[in-house]
Structure 1
Amino acid sequence: MPALYLSHGAPPLADDPLWPGELAAWSADLPRPKAILMISAHWEEAPLAIGATETVPLLYDFWGFPKRYYQVTYAAPGAPEVAEKVRKLLRHPGTPVHDVPDRGLDHGAYVPLKEMYPGADIPVLQISMPTLDPRKLMEIGRRLAPLREEGVLIVGSGFFTHNLRAMDFQHNRVPSMIAEFDDWGRRALEDQDLDALLDFEHKAPAGSFAHPRTEHFAPLFVTLGAGHEDMAAQRTVIDGFWSGMAKRSLQIG
């Protein structure tokens, strides 16, 4: 399986005239996964934690939206076998792995999956990000990479830029600094310049504007680690902007 990084969108993603179709077309072009492993910007917990391994209610981790967004369901099967493999791959002396059996999928996981796999018939497991350190996250991705050979789709779910104060829901005006960061990221990915990406806070133009906090860029590094042997096959699948934020999403392998 390839490894993906996707810009996941807020709950209103489902109402966008373009984005749901882009996600659906992307998934239709992929081999069917045996299971999906999600790493979302919306779950930071250390030590690394493993979410529910059976179907539990979703985590509506957002506020102030219309009622219908809290009525969305996505009852995907759990993936206990994948959870056990994750434990074996990631747990080693000094690095424990915890279980949080009642934590359901957050919106960084279920919002895009509902568009990509609407049947909710593929087992899904979500794990936490135990750090925002790009190098440590890349190492986690490298450790998880063998799961790809077993049919597991590894997905880092964030947003290529994420400055809520710069959003423009009405006109989708794109701040010049957001466009500049997106173009820099595109070129760094095309050049396979991992050193620049790992040090994006210092090397990217407008890095602190594009990401006042880096949790939405961080899942990219899990994806880069999981796909490190296939970087030559990396490509952007979705680009453009949504409400002033870059929705660049990529596939490795």
Structure 2
Amino acid sequence: MNDIVSILKKLELFGDFSHKDLEKLVGRLSFSIAHYKKGEIIKLMGDDYNELLILMAGKISSEMQDLNGKAMKVETMAAPEIIASGVLFSNQYKLPVDIISVEDCSMLVIPKISVIKLCQENQKFLSCFLQDMGNRICFLANRMYSLTMKTLKEKIALFILEKSDGRNSFELNMTKEEISRLFGVARPSLSRTFQEIIHNGLIVQEGNKIIIKDRSNLVRLAGTKNNNRFQGD
């Protein structure tokens, strides 16, 4: 019980709860724990999503496939993380992506009826849950914007700006293979474009560390209209 409470406390959804209040909430909650091996399919696109999944340990990826079977990664998630909160209350409640374990992982599984009960009984939980759904909508809107860009260079520029979160340097926690799948391109194409951005003096890469040297031109390359969003310190 204490392990579950400690992990949930790290989520924004439960961040405002005291440890004692969260213990009481979990004690009244109906849930189960599911375990998955690396590479195992957790959910397939089109599966019913009538229970809330919370990633408690490990890492997963969400992916889409086109008619030719080519996979495009939507995002990679590391524990702890809430999975598809908005889908749970959609009219069709069908998953729009495949969910695959990147490494051994554990899921807290909460039936939809229990989530509804929590929302009815606890205004704090309801507010945080709605906020999580709103954040998810914003994330997907940004992903759609990225995918509709004309060039790979524009996509990478926006990706770097988003990962930097206003900082001048950050650790890149994804491999080139993972990033290439995120953009739906071949790895050599991704590597060449990364090198072009480095050669143009916009960034420097030291191992997994990315250092932004010319933020204004990186913002211009990304083609974003909301320049203030990506201004550094």
> TM-score scaled by structure 1?
0.24
Q: Which has the higher contact order (CA 8 A, sep 6+)?
A: 1
The structure having more radius of gyration, on CA atoms, is 2
More strand by share: 2
> TM-score scaled by structure 2?
0.25
